[in-house]
Structure 1
Amino acid sequence: MKPAAREAAAIEILESWREGRAVEAALTVWGRASRFAGSGDREAVRDLVFGAVRRFRSASALGGGGSGRALMLGQARAEGRRLEGWTGEGHAPVALSAAEAALMDAPLPPLTRGEALDCPEWLLPAFDAALGGAADPVLSLMRDRAPVFLRVNRAKASREAVIAELAAAGIEARAHPLAETALEVTAGTRKLRNSAALSEGRVELQDAASQAVALDFAAVASGPVLDYCAGGGGKALALAAEGFAVTAHDAEPRRMSDLPARAGRAGATIEVLAGEASGRWPAILADAPCSGSGSWRRAPEAKWAFTPGRLAELNAVQAQILRACAALTAPGGVLGYATCSLLREENEERVAAFLAAEPGWQVISERRLSPLDGGDGFYLALLRRG
């Protein structure tokens, strides 16, 4: 596909997203209808689409609107790139109108802070409150693609051995300081899916900050662990690799459907609960549902769909999860409350409200990670029951 044809495909997919379809679903529909597109074309189209979604506000401001076509114009304008081959022939977008051509030739206008940082306007005060002077650098970083990280399964291999194995397969990776198990992939990412290291469970795809949270929890936990909000099971697998007996629970058990197969590859034994958790546990980790604001560069459409009403709903769910986990924690036990959010409303304020309502608990530690640390934004509070 020529560059113009890739841009036309991105326009089509972005239009589908603007009409309400999820970005991944829109990409899938296009891919099934475009058998002619090679793997390189699909990757390039995907990058164009996600780049425009991450930078929706600035691209809209520079491109003259929120349509897929305007977003492509805005992205090209921001990059100082000429749009070649827009002729309307073959698979190319129709030629620029006189107004669009004039727009592309005009000097870049000043953008508002929210536009320049590609942040919903109502969230700027919340990011300022949570991050202070780091708000602008963090939001700026989240306009770009996230790094690709791997977690080394230390039950099967060392980090050094995995780096060497990946290098032999044409995949470049380096140790990352956020976690002793973390590798950042710097080249050969497409080869990962067919690598023996992944298929045989020596590595798992997992953000470095997520790994750091699991290791921080592991450092203070003892005995069997209940992963209360297990989801796909990334942290359950990380804890099992550290030698813990792990039981996985999720309010929607279907989210854990792939966990037994992943545990099998990793050589881990993880019990997956089909129903509610019960009993008393010496250690519970709750990676609670949240805005995902710390990982919006991986799922950028979420930030444009997020609303004050949804934040209130999530706060209620987070409070309920903390109450439920408190009832399941044994005396002297540890409860880890985590989110991949940067917002105080979902982090420090939830923990403060919990402590005010539940006497007998003490804070062991709190840790906040942001994209400035290299990975996603994460928060972890470690609490001990008296």
Structure 2
Amino acid sequence: MTPGARAAAAIGVLDRVLAGEAAEKALTNWGRASRFAGSGDRAAVRDLVYDALRQRRSAAALGGGEAGRGLVLGLMRANGQEALFSGEGHAPAPPAASEAGREPVGAEALDLPDWLVPELERSLGERLAPVAEALRARAPVFLRVNLARGTAAGAQAALAGEGIVTRPHPLADTALEVVEGARRVQVSDAYRAGLVELQDASSQAVVAGLPLAEGMRVLDHCAGGGGKTLAMAARAKLRLWAHDAAPRRMADLPERAKRAGVKVTLTERPEASAPYDLALVDAPCSGSGSWRRDPEGKWRLTPARLAELVGIQAAILDRVAPMVAPGGWLGYATCSLLRVENGDQAQAFLGRHPGWRLETERSFTPLEGGDGFHLALFRRS
């Protein structure tokens, strides 16, 4: 496919996404219907679609419209590639006079919803603009070295032997940033053998901040796919339980744990195995810290949904707190940049539970390289 044909394909996919179809599903359906597209074409179209979603407001302003054509035209103009809209072959038709576009302003230029800017300003202060700019770009690919299988240096060497170039990242001693060969990771021997897992560097830093020790009874309450579960298991020999409100999310965890050489017990009733020495609540949240990876989430979030999430977070903390043994620890984590989900939530928890104290609290933003994350670490009296 020519670059112009790829732009036209991205327009078609984006129109389906803007009509309500999930981006991954729309891309999959396009790929199945476009057998002529090679792997490079599919990757290029995918990149265009996700770049357009990350930069949806600014691209729409530059491209003169909020449909797929306007978004891709805006991207092309921002990158000095408007000439791809030539109308030749399978390329999109040249821009009409009505598609002149304009420079984005205010929240448009930041690619943020208007209603969310005040809360982000309260949460980030002078960092708002650089963080918003970082969220407009693709996220790096990070790997977590499984310390139960080997060392970071050994993992780097093994990956390099398969054409995957990495470098250590300062956020965590287990974090490697992939700088070349990212698409080969999941078919590599190092990945199949459990030496490395795909995991964001900030997520790894959250686990590194937990007071894990040999023999602890640990609950990962909102385990999801189990990334943090396995990261905890690699740092110490634990008695480890994993729970999720949607158990199907943990379907692959037993096989991943086997590959990693660790044992995890899945439970639908975490109260039955209490008390725990440490419980981690990686709570459902706005996902604002990871909008580089899920840009659709930026535009789906509403004030009502944010308020609902804050209520869910509080309810989970209230449920898990009694499961922690006296003197034990409760880690509350989100992949959010918003104070209402982070510091405000931590203070509200302390107000409801006087038998707890806040030991440490740390926020990460994309300016440090990984996703936006927050960790509040409480200890029970």
Same fold per TM (> 0.5)?
A: yes
Q: Is 1:183 the counterpart of 2:176 in the alignment?
A: yes
Give the alignment partner of residue 265 of structure 1, picking from 259, 262, 272. Answer: 259
- 1: CA distance, partners of 2:361 / 2:96: 55
State the match for 2:86 in structure 1: 86
Q: Is 1:15 the counterpart of 2:11 in the alignment?
A: no
Change (3 A) 1:237 1:295: same
Partner deviation per Cα, 1:24-67 (whole Å, 9 max, x = no partner):
11111111111111111110000000000000000011111110
Give the alignment partner of residue 342 of structure 2, picking from 338, 347, 360. Answer: 347
Q: Is 1:277 the counterpart of 2:276 in the alignment?
A: no
State the match for 1:47 in structure 2: 47
- Whether contact under 8 Å (1:155, 1:242) holds in the other structure is yes
- 1: CA distance, partners of 2:362 / 2:95: 50
Give the alignment partner of residue 376 of structure 2, picking from 352, 363, 381. Answer: 381
Change (3 A) 1:64 1:110: closer
SS at match of 2:82: coil
State the match for 2:189 in structure 1: 196
Give the alignment partner of residue 154 of structure 1, picking from 136, 147, 150. Answer: 147
Offset of 1:82 from its aligned partner? 2.7
- Whether contact under 8 Å (1:154, 1:241) holds in the other structure is yes
Change (3 A) 1:222 1:295: farther
- 2: CA distance, partners of 1:140 / 1:95: 29
Partner deviation per Cα, 1:160-212 (whole Å, 9 max, x = no partner):
01111111111110000000000000011111121001111000000000000
Offset of 1:92 from its aligned partner? 2.8
- Whether contact under 8 Å (1:149, 1:205) holds in the other structure is yes
Offset of 1:88 from its aligned partner? 6.0
Answer with 220-229 or 302-311: which moved more: 220-229
Offset of 1:273 from its aligned partner? 1.1
Letter in 2 for 1:342: L
Q: How does 1:1-386 map to 2 (within 5 A)?
A: 1-84=1-84, 86-87=86-87, 89=89, 91-100=90-99, 103=100, 109-219=102-212, 223-243=216-236, 244-278=238-272, 279-386=274-381
Unaligned runs of 5+ in 1: none
- 1: CA distance, partners of 2:182 / 2:254: 25
- 2: CA distance, partners of 1:184 / 1:286: 26
SS at match of 1:57: helix
Offset of 1:85 from its aligned partner? 5.9
Letter in 1 for 2:181: G
SS at match of 1:83: helix
- 2: CA distance, partners of 1:220 / 1:382: 15
Letter in 2 for 1:126: E
Partner deviation per Cα, 1:236-287 (whole Å, 9 max, x = no partner):
0001111222110011111100101111111111111134533211110000
- Whether contact under 8 Å (2:85, 2:93) holds in the other structure is no
Offset of 1:87 from its aligned partner? 1.8
Letter in 2 for 1:248: A
Change (3 A) 1:373 1:222: farther
The two structures have a TM-score, normalised by structure 1, of 0.95
SS at match of 1:51: helix
- Whether contact under 8 Å (1:341, 1:377) holds in the other structure is yes
- 1: CA distance, partners of 2:322 / 2:63: 53
Offset of 1:93 from its aligned partner? 2.4
State the percentage of identical aligned residues.
54
- Whether contact under 8 Å (1:52, 1:59) holds in the other structure is yes
- Whether contact under 8 Å (1:171, 1:187) holds in the other structure is yes
Answer with 243-252 or 229-238: which moved more: 243-252
Aligned length in residues: 379
SS at match of 2:268: coil
Partner deviation per Cα, 1:94-146 (whole Å, 9 max, x = no partner):
3433444xx27xxxx44222111101111111111111111111111110000
Letter in 1 for 2:135: M
- 2: CA distance, partners of 1:236 / 1:364: 22
- Whether contact under 8 Å (1:287, 1:338) holds in the other structure is yes
- 1: CA distance, partners of 2:166 / 2:151: 14
- 1: CA distance, partners of 2:345 / 2:85: 53
Offset of 1:302 from its aligned partner? 0.4
Offset of 1:222 from its aligned partner? 6.6
SS at match of 2:49: helix
Letter in 2 for 1:190: R
